Amino acid sequence: MALSPGVIPAVALLVGGLFTAFPAASGGHVDAHDMLMMDRFRQWQATHNRSYVSAEERLRRFKVYRSNVEYIDATNRRGDLTYELGENQFADLTGEEFVTRYASSHEASGGTGSVITTTAEAYGLWSFGSGGGDDSLEAPLPPSVDWRAKGAVTPVKNQGS
């Protein structure tokens, strides 16, 4: 089977690009594992519609992705968990970057710094008596409380797929 004349330069450019795009990722040389990991990274990028502003940023994200995937694979191989880890849309973020972006504090989200407190009384669950300094319950505690139904919390969001 002969390749068309236009395919050979395209393949050469692709292979050359692979070897020059990520040379620092493996200390200057690229082996079969590196090539497989690069392919896996590109597939992940396509799945999660991820692109980067520069080759340097892409290389940095590849290194983070690779580190995270190696951790995922090693953890799953050990088999000592009752669940399995997997890749998701956050696989190119470090733990610190994830916390900074998605686990915001009250102050980071524009809050005033004051603490908001609520009580069960505010949601009509039960009230406390005032029996001579001995705060006792006037009604028995319920066996469980669905705080979503009471409007205290929102339903779970973005659990991935």
Check pLDDT > 80 for residue 22.
Answer: no
- Going by pLDDT thresholds of 50, 70 and 90, the confidence category of residue 145 is confident
pLDDT at 46: 96
The dihedral formed by the CA atoms of 17, 26, 58 and 33, expressed in degrees to the nearest 10: 70
Check pLDDT > 70 for residue 13.
Answer: no
| φ, ψ of residue 133 in degrees (nearest 5) | 85, -10
Q: Please, what is the end-to-end C-alpha distance for the chain in angstroms?
A: 42
Q: Can you list the domains of the chain with their CATH numbers?
A: 31-106 (1.10.287.2250)
Tokens at 80, concatenated: 């000592």
The structure's pTM equals 0.52
C-alpha 145/C-alpha 41 separation (Å) is 44
pLDDT tens by residue, 47-76: 999 999 999 999 999 999 999 999 999 999
Question: What's the whole-number mean pLDDT along residues 8-37?
Answer: 59
Which residues, including other chains, have CB under 8 Å from residue 37's CB and lie 6 or more apart? 66, 69
pLDDT tens by residue, 95-141: 999 988 888 665 555 555 555 555 555 555 555 554 444 555 567 77
